[in-house]
Structure 1
Amino acid sequence: MDKPIHVMSEIGKLKTVLLKRPGKEVENLTPEIMERLLFDDIPHLPVIQKEHDAFAKVLEDNGVEVLYLEKLSAEAIDAGNVKESFLEKIMSESNIQSPSVYEGLKHYLLKMDTQEMVNTIMAGVRKKDVETASQHLSDVSDDGGDPAQSRTESPDSYFTEDKTQHLGEVSNDEDYPFYMDPMPNLYFTRDPAASLGNGLTINRMLFEARQRESLFMETIINYHPRFAGKDVEIWRNRDHTSNIEGGDELVLNDKVLAIGISQRTSAQAIEELAIELFNRGATFEKVLAIKIPNVRAMMHLDTVFTMVDYNKFTIHPGIQRLGGSIDTYMLEKSDEPGKVKITHKTNLQEVLKEALEVDELTLIPCGGGDAIAAPREQWNDGSNTLAIAPGVVVTYDRNYVSNALLREQGIKVIEIESSELSRGRGGPRCMSMPLIREDLPKQN
């Protein structure tokens, strides 16, 4: 297979995957900024790295080529000779308001070799580490130290009459320790981009804390020798105004996608993507838009619903109304240009059977549907499985009720330790972006 991206299902044997090893960005979380950066807790870095390394080893032991986002990003920047332009773009998206801070940051980061620069950007840049050549009012810090420390001008020069001051740049966050925010969510490589067929979506993400993440994937696709010039279809780029995230994008087979209408993916984005796929000759003929609750615990479709075998899925009962119904919209190509045919249904199981052309279909409830076990294990991503082959999945060990049910249904379950990985509110599927899967044999 010579395509650098080829994903025609959720369950085809996984051949190549993109991961991001948790780094200092995780250690740069504090209680005060957790919510701003979309975390509920602070993982212990040495342990989360150990657990992530074990996850990668499980994949490698099962014949999967593991690539790393941080390494590919640096290689792409060097291959394209775009170090300065990449830096300028990511700084422009980092809300750097002060001209002196912008220049100080740029000088600080360009001095580094490319890999160190990428790692530092991902980790976040602290104010204390950057020297600036001049002062604006926005640079003043009340952190208890000398605001001119490590700078070339004295405090007396801040407000001299012969200097232009930028009062509009005054920050309400003088105590905030970073010029550039850390990106602790990067180890969830599933979301900034998603492989669909022989191409991908490079996503505009909902929250500002994550929007810069897809710039790394854009750079990799444009400049890395593994992808650049290899006819990778960009079904959707990161410049759209509507939001979509990879955790909501599931490839059920070469003709059917399922995409969650969720907290982080809009119905508008799904319709736009469906039109693009249909008009550009993708193999996909149906898009199932599945409405899930707009709550933190169910942020993406794959936190409540994943495919584990040809006709078996995990599901969190909490996404279903009384009677088991859930709003599902089947999008198909319309005879009218620029439009799609939309059919509304409420029986997800029947919709899946029809779309996948199977007679029997099993929905395996997270936590067995128990009033306590189901929400507890869903909070720790009991429904977020990564299929590495039909009927073979990687899961978190802590979700023992759900794992036992999967085994009862004939699924091979490979458990990984998850005491720290789970603190980020994402499971094995969230932590992985498949790039290549083997095609499934056609079913009779």
Structure 2
Amino acid sequence: MMQLHIVDETAPLKAVILGTAESCGPVPKPEEAYDPKSLEHILAGTYPKEEDMVKEMDAFAEVFHKYGVKVFRPEVLKDCNQIFSRDIAFVIEDKLFHSNILPDREREFEAIHEVLDQIDPKKIIRPPEEVHIEGGDVMPWNDYIFIGTYTGKDYPDFITARTNKEAVEFIQELFPNKTVKAFELRKSNTNAKDNALHLDCCFQPVGKDKAILHKNGFLVEEEYQWLVDYFGKENIFEIDKDEMYNMFSNVFSISPEVVVSEKSFTRLNNWLREQGFTVEEIPYAEIAKQEGLLRCSTMPLIREK
């Protein structure tokens, strides 16, 4: 049996699910796009090619192997985009949550059966139907669980609004000893530069006490300010609108010292190195066109206690 263990974003990684770009299907039609950035590339004829995305994900897998991380890949489904494993499930402590996602993505969850079969079924939790939650919005951080949400009355109008207030309440009930801190995110179906699809699109902790942050991703200034005060201004790398659009905050930590980043993120990668991090740079710009990057395509299972 696999003992899941995730209490933060950066402890040394032992096991992870990395999505796959194989057999990801034809270019979607504009009306099939789930987010404004994919739509932009569909319309411009620059939607990423499968072979390029497979290469990018192979480069990511190689970095994991270099650090001795056990990597699981989903079973390949024909013509199905299975890149973003963070959407379908996530782990908090020793429990794996099965996200209530768009119904046509249900089979993506079943495709990780190699992992599911190794987990005690009592530790696999399917939230009730009214709870909408995706892994990109969930960040365990020691005594806290940070959750990105949108609670506006127009929630149903946004295909980009992924995690609701029922989800925040559900997680709080399950983890009474943790403080669940929710953040209202800015949503847009049409403008990718005004859309924080998930919390990890505008915020992510790195190391033990630092964070990447984008102010405009947050709807409520006090909530943004809470993060600035919590991490301390000197420990924050503030990204601008274009950098958020390019997914600068969606890097991935293999340990408190090692961060995997996109090779074109020069400003961020320089800052990380100045802070003493080892930065593993890989090409991921094609996958980025679908409004997801390194954190979105991974689902950590075990980080060292």
TM bracket, shorter-chain basis: 0.7 to 0.9
Match of 1:45 among 29, 50, 63: 50
TM-score, scaled relative to structure 1: 0.59
User: In the alignment, is the contact (CA less than 8 A) between 1:385 and 1:394 conserved in 2?
Assistant: yes
Distance 1:267 1:246 in 2: 15
Greater RCO, CA 8 A, separation 6+: 2
- Higher Cα radius of gyration: 1
Distance 1:64 1:349 in 2: 32
Structure-1 residue corresponding to 2:221: 325
Gaps of 5+ in 2: 42-46, 151-160
Structure 2 vs 1, CA of residues 429 and 37 (structure 1 numbering), >3 Å: closer, same or farther? closer
Residues 238-257 of structure 1 mapped to structure 2, 5 A cutoff = 238-253=127-142, 255-257=143-145
Structure 2 vs 1, CA of residues 32 and 413 (structure 1 numbering), >3 Å: closer, same or farther? same
Residue identity (%): 28
Structure-2 residue corresponding to 1:379: 245
Pair 1:286-2:244 in alignment:
no
What RMSD in Å do the two structures reach over aligned CA positions?
2.5
Q: Deviations over 1:172-225 (max 9, x none)?
A: xxxxxxxxxxx32x21111111011111211112x44545533445x5565x2x
User: In the alignment, is the contact (CA less than 8 A) between 1:11 and 1:387 conserved in 2?
Assistant: yes
Q: Deviations over 1:351-397 (max 9, x none)?
A: x35xxxxx88722112xxxxxxx222211210111110003211111
Structure-1 residue corresponding to 2:123: 233
Match of 2:206 among 294, 302, 308: 308
Amino acid in the other structure paired with 2:227 = L
Q: Secondary structure at the match of 1:415?
A: strand
TM-score, scaled relative to structure 2: 0.83
User: In the alignment, is the contact (CA less than 8 A) between 2:162 and 2:198 conserved in 1?
Assistant: yes
Structure-2 residue corresponding to 1:170: none
Pair 1:29-2:34 in alignment:
no
Distance 1:404 1:431 in 2: 23
Structure-2 residue corresponding to 1:128: none
Q: Deviations over 1:246-276 (max 9, x none)?
A: 00111112x2211111421111211112112
Pair 1:60-2:65 in alignment:
yes
Q: Secondary structure at the match of 1:191?
A: helix
Structure-2 residue corresponding to 1:12: 11
Q: Secondary structure at the match of 1:382?
A: coil
Structure-2 residue corresponding to 1:187: 83
1:33 Cα deviation (Å)?
5.0
Distance 1:414 1:421 in 2: 17
Distance 1:36 1:347 in 2: 30
Amino acid in the other structure paired with 2:169 = E
Residues 13-412 of structure 1 mapped to structure 2, 5 A cutoff = 13-25=12-24, 27-35=25-33, 39-40=38-39, 41=41, 42-70=47-75, 119-120=77-78, 123=79, 183-184=80-81, 186-205=82-101, 207-217=102-112, 219=113, 224=117, 226-227=118-119, 230=120, 233-234=123-124, 236-253=125-142, 255-262=143-150, 263-278=161-176, 284-295=177-188, 296=192, 297-320=195-218, 325-327=221-223, 347-350=226-229, 352=230, 362-366=235-239, 374-412=240-278
Distance 2:6 2:110 in 1: 21
Distance 1:271 1:193 in 2: 18
Amino acid in the other structure paired with 2:140 = V
1:231 Cα deviation (Å)?
6.3
Distance 1:53 1:412 in 2: 20
User: In the alignment, is the contact (CA less than 8 A) between 2:19 and 2:85 conserved in 1?
Assistant: yes
Distance 1:62 1:195 in 2: 21
Gaps of 5+ in 1: 71-117, 124-182, 279-283, 329-345, 354-358, 367-373, 440-444
Distance 1:202 1:397 in 2: 32
Structure-1 residue corresponding to 2:156: none
1:36 Cα deviation (Å)?
5.7
